[in-house]
Structure formats: C-alpha cells, structure tokens
C-alpha cells in the first residue's frame, strides 16, 4: 500500500535529512538543536500525510468528501495540531529553522510530484491505496498512528520544549 511507502519516505528522509541536504547543496546545513531536529521530523511527517490526502482528494473525485473529512479530523486531532504548532514555533525560533522548513517543503513537493507522476500509469491502484488509507484512519493505523508511537523521542522533546511535560 502506498500509504505505507509515504510513512517510510517520511522517516527515511527525516533521519537522513542533514546528509541528503548537504550533498544536494554542497555544504552542511545549519545545525539545529535536538528539539529542532525533532520538530523537523514531525513537521515533515505531518506535511507528507496532508499532501497525500490532498493528492487523494484531487485524483479520486468520487471520494473527495471522504478525504476532506479525514483531513479535517486529522488536523483537528489535538496531538497533531499541537505538534504542528510546536514544531513551527521551534523551527521559527532557531537559526537555520526557517531554511529547514523551506527544505522540508521542497522535499514534500518533490515526493508529491513523483507520486502524482507515478499515478498517471496506475490511477486505479492509487485510488485503491487512497481508499485503504481513509479506512485505516479511523483505526489510527499506518501514517495515522499516534505521533507519540511513531516518534516517541521527538514528541517527548516537543512536549518538553513547549512546557507541557
């Protein structure tokens, strides 16, 4: 299922981000604190999930309302919304954080572009994957597992940084 691929892409990119970015730019990125790196990983995952839901909505018109509902509920989840706000706050406060957000956006755009290009060859399979992703949302599986389960150390850092713990 492609939803699983998106999770793997998010984790892989998040874990290798500084290495890949340095190779692409020819120089090392501005180092961030541990909280900044944690915020980057969580921020990237959420952005990839949202972009996937957007692509599903765009390319599976029969189920557009389902994807809109899943997106609204995902964004309405207190943990997700707090993680989004907290990661943005951390990245905005650190030297190099704004650049990291731009770099993440570029990575997400590239992943989305590749996904949409690949979809042209297999629209039916993509739609099936999207529908399966919508079904696992309610069960909090795949990319919709709790952030604290997928990113336990990162979420602990975000919570500690926000003063909630």
- What pLDDT shows up at residue 74? 96
Nearest partner of 34 among 155, 119, 125, 164, judged by Cα: 155
**∠ at Cα 45 (25, 35), nearest 5°?**
75
pLDDT tens for the chain, residues 1 to 165: 444 455 444 544 444 444 344 444 445 566 888 999 999 999 999 999 999 999 999 999 999 999 999 999 999 999 999 999 999 999 999 888 888 888 999 999 998 888 888 887 789 999 999 999 999 998 999 999 999 999 999 999 999 987 754
Domain span at 12: 2-162
Rounded to 10 degrees, what is the CA torsion of 125, 136, 54, 57?
Answer: 60
Domain count of the fold of the chain? 1
* Nearest CA-CA partner of 115 in 71, 51, 29: 51
């Amino acid at each position: 299922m492609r939803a699983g691929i998106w999770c793997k892409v998010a984790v892989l990119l998040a874990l290798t981000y500084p290495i890949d970015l340095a190779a692409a730019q020819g120089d090392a990125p501005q180092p961030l604190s541990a909280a900044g790196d944690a915020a980057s990983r969580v921020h990237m995952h959420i952005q990839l999930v949202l972009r996937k839901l957007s692509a599903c909505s765009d390319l599976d018109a029969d189920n557009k309302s389902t994807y809109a509902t899943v997106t609204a509920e995902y964004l309405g989840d207190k943990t997700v919304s707090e993680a989004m706000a907290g990661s943005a706050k951390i990245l905005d406060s650190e030297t190099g954080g704004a650049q990291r957000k731009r770099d993440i956006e570029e990575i997400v755009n590239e992943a989305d572009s590749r996904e949409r290009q690949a979809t042209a060859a297999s629209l039916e399979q993509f739609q099936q994957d999207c529908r399966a992703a919508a079904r696992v949302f309610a069960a909090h599986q795949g990319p919709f597992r709790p952030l604290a389960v997928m990113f336990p150390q990162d979420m602990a850092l975000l919570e500690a940084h926000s003063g909630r713990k």
